[in-house]
Amino acid sequence: MNSFGKVFRVSVFGESHGSAIGVLIDGCPPGIKLSPDDFMQDLSRRRSGAKGTTPRSETDTPDILSGVFNGITTGAPLMLMTRNSDRRPGDYDEFRNIPRPGHADYTAAVKYSGFADMRGSGHFSGRITWGLVAAGVIAKIILQPSLVKAKLISAGGIDDIEKAVSNALSEGDSIGGIIECRISDPHKALGEPFFYPVESAISHAVFAIPAVKGIEFGSGFRAASMKGSEHNDSFVDETGKTLTNNAGGINGGITNGNEIVFRVAVKPTSSIAVKQQTFDFGRKEMTWLNVKGRHDTCIALRAPVIVEAAAAIALADLLMIDRAIHGSRG
């Protein structure tokens, strides 16, 4: 279940403090120019380094281990990998008995009967999104000339994101944020009713990103307060352009050619410097927990490029499925 996509298929692997993380990509067309450099812009947006992001240092450069010959994709599976260099297993040892609130420590222990690698959240770490971003780079190429762009539009409930981060940092606390993603010049006719509409595909991929709590398309939750006469988007010309875009570019689960728009809610980072009271499963009593180690104040700062990747992967898969059934369009 560690794969996404029916034709363009992305499988991630690795643990935060294991020897390597990476991604296997199947269904990538041959003939795409591809070098490690092509990944660096998106990968460094994920790593960030800005105030409020974790200071962990990793080079993150991808090794392309298969599927590329002479700098061009061959049509065979692509294996992209990077070694973990900055491994600090010691930071996390004490959390076996005292699972950190908001983290997957407790559920991982239950699900995997105590065998999960708990170091730095193991396979549940945000670090695993490296593979998602790497696959996203390829998906974006496949989707051209469509352009997938996401940005953080608020943090901690306010628009001044820098201020919100500074405040939280000074308090040793963390904050969440809202990311908006827009896909301009999208392919028309993507999406498969009944069970693979655009919203299903994108939300499936986006909720794989740790810390995502919600997603809405077009008017989203605001639609619940609207009237039909306000919400309906009138067509204005024969290209299918609409006057408003409450639909977020999607009707009946299928892209209508207008900009695809969705927003994603990201929760505040679970690791905080502030002390928290929680249960000690070893001693069977409440205790105070002090989470040490390096953390993001606002994980949402690094998430836009991951959201882009998730959306691009979902749309690339839908594009291929549409092509499978209907042939290459116009």
Distances, alpha carbon 5 to alpha carbons 2, 63, 200, 245, in Å: 10, 23, 12, 27
> In this structure, what DSSP letter does residue 29 have?
P
Give me the 69-108 binding string for a copy of itself, x by CB under 8 A, dash otherwise: x--xxxxxxxx-x-----------------x-xxxxxxxx
Considering only 93, 145, 170, 326, the residue that binds a copy of itself (CB under 8 A) is 326
Stretch that binds a copy of itself, among 42-50, 53-61, 109-117, 301-309 (CB under 8 A): 109-117
Smallest distance, a copy of itself to C-beta of residue 141, A: 14
- Inter-residue contact 266 to 178 (CB < 8 Å): yes
Smallest distance, a copy of itself to C-beta of residue 62, A: 13
> CA–CA separation, 135 vs 120, rounded Å?
23
> In this structure, what DSSP letter does residue 125 have?
S
Between 41 and 107, whose beta carbon lies closer to a copy of itself? 107
| Region of residue 220 (phi > 0: left; psi between -120 and 50: alpha; otherwise: beta) | left
Between 41 and 146, whose beta carbon lies closer to a copy of itself? 146
Considering only 94, 232, 290, 292, the residue that binds a copy of itself (CB under 8 A) is 232
Sheet holding 9-14, edge to edge: 3-4, 9-14, 20-26, 78-83, 63-66
Interface of this chain with a copy of itself, residues 245 to 274, rule: CB under 8 A? 246-248, 251-256, 265-272, 274
In 10 A of CB 180, how many CB atoms? 16
Q: Is 179 strand, coil or helix?
A: strand
Smallest distance, a copy of itself to C-beta of residue 77, A: 4
Interface of this chain with a copy of itself, residues 40 to 59, rule: CB under 8 A? none
Stretch that binds a copy of itself, among 34-42, 47-55, 133-141, 239-247 (CB under 8 A): 239-247
Considering only 56, 117, 161, 304, the residue that binds a copy of itself (CB under 8 A) is 117
Smallest distance, a copy of itself to C-beta of residue 160, A: 13
User: Which strand (E) or helix (H) includes residue 68?
Assistant: strand 68-69
Smallest distance, a copy of itself to C-beta of residue 260, A: 13
Stretch that binds a copy of itself, among 46-54, 133-141, 204-212, 301-309 (CB under 8 A): 204-212
CB burial of residue 276 (10 Å; 0-12, 13-18, 19+): middle
> CA–CA separation, 286 vs 207, rounded Å?
31
Smallest distance, a copy of itself to C-beta of residue 59, A: 17
Between 29 and 41, whose beta carbon lies closer to a copy of itself? 29
Give the count of alpha carbons within 13 A of 175, CB side only: 23
- Interior CA angle at 245 toward 241 and 248, to 5°? 110
> CA–CA separation, 59 vs 4, rounded Å?
26
Interface of this chain with a copy of itself, residues 156 to 195, rule: CB under 8 A? 156-157, 168, 171, 173-178, 188-189, 191-195
Residue with tokens 């995502």: 212
Establish if 212 lies at the interface with a copy of itself (CB under 8 A): yes
Between 41 and 243, whose beta carbon lies closer to a copy of itself? 243
> CA–CA separation, 146 vs 57, rounded Å?
33
Structure tokens of 130? 């490296």
What lies within 8 Å, CB to CB, of 221 at 6+ separation is none
Interface of this chain with a copy of itself, residues 124 to 153, rule: CB under 8 A? 124, 128
Between 41 and 60, whose beta carbon lies closer to a copy of itself? 60
